[in-house]
Structure 1
Amino acid sequence: MIRRSLDNYGEDHVAAISSEVSARIDAATFGTGSWDEVPAALSSAFPGSWGGVYNMNFPENRLNFMSLQNMEPAFVKSFADHFAYVNPWAAYWASLKTTTIAASEDVYPARSIAKSEFYNDWLLPQNTEAAAGMKLVGERGEAVHVLLHFPLSQSGVYDKAGLEILHRIRGNFERSVNLARLLRTDVETVVADAALVERSRYAALVVSGDRLLRESNLMAEQLFSSGQGVAVRNGRCYLVDKDADARFGATLEKLAAGTPTRASRIAFRTAAGAWQVSVAAIPLPRPSPASILSLLPPRRMVLVLVVDLGLQRAEAADLASLSTLFGLTPSEIAFCKRLLLGESVTDAAEHLGITEGTARTRLKAILQKTSTSRQGQLMLLLSKAT
């Protein structure tokens, strides 16, 4: 058995490795490099090891980002597909509430997981049972991990050098995560605001999969204040009907997780009236591999539209006068009614059984006939006609 001398990782060598990895982190942060280069630089300094950077949300059991370097492609794929979710070390990492740097043999030795599937089918075949790692705490159960895995026979040497390097690059990584968090919040805010632009007629709000309220329009805020239909408690949204709320919560979780679901509308009655809640996942921009947002990608959000069905009947007026005033056809009037109900062009097309292209052509014709140039002007005109 060959062991490296500690002299191979003296101060000069450790400083050089730390400087190289820090430079890779900064380059990835500002888009002049790739995140793949960070674990690659780390693993190249320790022969027989592999390096990794990944973002794992433990409560939601979701892998958000992953870069594993100096590893066979089959093992990379199996980690993403399965082993990330059965990693017995996850319990240790999930328990940490602050940035932590540790060696596995010090806090959670490989022998303690020797009977696990993760150890026998994934770690052991790679001969990289030992590790030094750093966890940077994210938000709502999310965490960024920096890992260096190596043969157990090398832990006596690699543990000490690996931990020292992780301590030295900690500041660079924390700055990157903090910047990514700020940029992600900005992106999510822009996306949420855009989702509400066309929906000013009825209560519209944007929530995350855990019900957290992200944005809402004036009608939604008035609805919250009334205590009818939808309530907000501790910043989270709930439907006032228990059974409807259970369906609402389950649907939000699926949409936020990207899980297919046929549920799109929930109707219920209360003493105050009848309500219809429509939900839809909001498309998010996909960060490029070179973007800092690939490390902390924007989280999925859900658009929620709440319609008071009693108010709907009152406000979906005949609009017959539009035919006389502007020469609108029956199909164009029907389209206007859908817009008055707070629906987007896409939603209106779905309800009317036409393609989105046809719907946009119809909207263009209506704008021309009514001498309006934007959808907002059209909505104002229609509201005065009801």
Structure 2
Amino acid sequence: MFFDTVNPDVQDCFQTGYSPDKMASFMAHYGAINPWRAHFAHMEPLKAWSSEQLLPHRDLVKTEFHADWLRPQGDISAGAGMILQRDARRLLILGGHIRMKDQDRLEAPWMMLANMLGPALRHAVELNHILSGLRLENALLAQGLTPTGAAILVLSDDRRILFANAMGERDLARGEALGGDLWRRLHLRDALSDRAFEAGLRRCRPNAPPIALRVAEPGTGASRIAHLLRVGPEVLPFAGIDTLRRTAPDSVVVLVIPAASAAETLMRYLGLTLAESEVALALHSGQTPTEIAAARGVSVHTVRSQTKAVLGKCAVRRQSELVALIGRLVR
């Protein structure tokens, strides 16, 4: 069993050797009450742990999971598992159940095999993610979109996140504009943006031009113009986009959210107005107040007043401190 979970209640699973009915019940109910799960966070990655090491058998037999799922399958209470990958959004596990009557004969060899396979499997997953991202960026370039610095998410028709690049994962983790529910379905935090996104999903057709939509961040006033497009396997090979998916979808939806501009970044994190952000960036670039005033068509007095306001909002006293602060936010 090879499964991927984002939270304690949901998992995707690629398995062999289990009956379809039992796996359906695992996905629907028993996976969420698996008593071994509470110990996954403490397992050392890339090291096989036996079922007994995770939870003594005397405690396991007292659970609903054992009575209604393990025991009816020949008491598959023995076995071992391994954490392949663990981060804020993914817990990827390799595991195998063994009948109690076969524990002495099979458990130790299975743990040895898992310890041998684990590093290679994790490397394969990481490499697959990198290659999927490169294929995706090439597909977007062919559509006339510039993926550099953008958050990119590949979605199923029910909004389920099949793939996110590093910037997409970052935006999801921040939760300012994007969010996900228990089933990894994407939603936009701003209600109007989310309704426009839903309408775009319905209108999106393969090989059609990208649909532009506004993605706003509630509370900050910042927004970005994102693009939504539907692609088929002839544009983007689906193999590897979803690690555990056995069958490829007919098409997927790609959401591309461009990176925030430098001014938007200062507005978001420092609470500056657009004009103040532009003045701050000009100071960061080495321009003098006189040069900034001439370029903006305002008086030097106005620029100095805006600079004073920026220093106050940033809680710094010197222009050199402001320049250093901006340098840490805008690279």
Q: Structure 2 length as normaliser, TM-score?
A: 0.51
Give 2:38's aligned amino acid: A
After superposition, the Cα gap between the structure-2 partners of 1:307 and 1:99, relative to the gap in structure 1 and judged at 3 Å, is closer
- Structure 2: distance between partners of 1:307 and 1:98: 35
After superposition, the Cα gap between the structure-2 partners of 1:83 and 1:184, relative to the gap in structure 1 and judged at 3 Å, is same
Q: Secondary structure at the match of 2:120?
A: helix
Give 1:81's aligned amino acid: A
Q: What residue number does 2:170 align with?
A: 236
- Structure 2: distance between partners of 1:164 and 1:266: 52
| Structure 2 residue 256 is the aligned partner of structure 1 residue 303 | yes
Deviation at 1:146, TM superposition (A): 2.5
- Structure 2: distance between partners of 1:206 and 1:297: 26
Deviation at 1:108, TM superposition (A): 0.6
Paired residues of 1:192 and 1:214 also in contact (CA < 8 A): no
Match of 2:91 among 130, 142, 159: 142
Structure 2 spans left out of the alignment, 5+ residues:
154-160, 188-193, 198-213, 262-331
After superposition, the Cα gap between the structure-2 partners of 1:256 and 1:186, relative to the gap in structure 1 and judged at 3 Å, is farther
- Structure 1: distance between partners of 2:110 and 2:217: 58
Match of 1:108 among 55, 64, 74: 55
Q: What residue number does 2:303 align with?
A: none
Larger radius of gyration: 1
Q: What residue number does 1:225 align with?
A: none
Q: State the identity %.
A: 16
Q: What residue number does 1:327 align with?
A: none
| Structure 2 residue 123 is the aligned partner of structure 1 residue 189 | no
Match of 2:29 among 57, 82, 97: 82
Paired residues of 1:205 and 1:214 also in contact (CA < 8 A): no
After superposition, the Cα gap between the structure-2 partners of 1:178 and 1:296, relative to the gap in structure 1 and judged at 3 Å, is farther
Match of 2:107 among 162, 165, 170: 162
Q: Secondary structure at the match of 1:236?
A: helix
Q: Deviations over 1:277-329 (max 9, x none)?
A: 446587674438xx99548999x974214799xxxxxxxxxxxxxxxxxxxxx
- Structure 2: distance between partners of 1:193 and 1:143: 27
Structure 1 spans left out of the alignment, 5+ residues:
1-52, 217-234, 239-244, 309-386
Give 2:115's aligned amino acid: R
Deviation at 1:98, TM superposition (A): 1.6
Deviation at 1:118, TM superposition (A): 1.9
Paired residues of 1:129 and 1:149 also in contact (CA < 8 A): yes
Deviation at 1:186, TM superposition (A): 0.8
- Structure 1: distance between partners of 2:61 and 2:183: 35
- Structure 1: distance between partners of 2:15 and 2:218: 49
| Structure 2 residue 98 is the aligned partner of structure 1 residue 117 | no
Q: Structure 1 length as normaliser, TM-score?
A: 0.44
| Structure 2 residue 5 is the aligned partner of structure 1 residue 57 | yes
Q: What residue number does 1:214 align with?
A: 166
> What do you get for the CA RMSD once the two structures are aligned?
4.7
Give 1:146's aligned amino acid: G
Match of 1:257 among 162, 184, 191: 184
Q: Secondary structure at the match of 1:100?
A: coil
After superposition, the Cα gap between the structure-2 partners of 1:91 and 1:258, relative to the gap in structure 1 and judged at 3 Å, is same
Alignment of 1:1-386 (within 5 A): 53-59=1-7, 61-69=9-17, 71-140=18-87, 141-151=90-100, 154=101, 158-159=103-104, 161-168=106-113, 170-195=115-140, 197-198=142-143, 200=145, 205-207=150-152, 214=166, 236-237=170-171, 248-250=177-179, 253-254=180-181, 257-258=184-185, 262=195, 264=197, 265-267=214-216, 275-278=223-226, 280=228, 285-287=237-239, 294=244, 302-305=255-258
Q: Which has the higher helix share?
A: 1
Q: Secondary structure at the match of 2:166?
A: strand
Q: Which one scores higher on RCO, CA 8 angstroms, separation ≥ 6?
A: 1
- Structure 2: distance between partners of 1:144 and 1:102: 11
Q: How many residues align?
A: 221
After superposition, the Cα gap between the structure-2 partners of 1:259 and 1:73, relative to the gap in structure 1 and judged at 3 Å, is same
Give 1:236's aligned amino acid: R
Q: Secondary structure at the match of 2:44?
A: coil
After superposition, the Cα gap between the structure-2 partners of 1:269 and 1:182, relative to the gap in structure 1 and judged at 3 Å, is closer
- Structure 1: distance between partners of 2:144 and 2:245: 32
- Structure 1: distance between partners of 2:60 and 2:166: 40
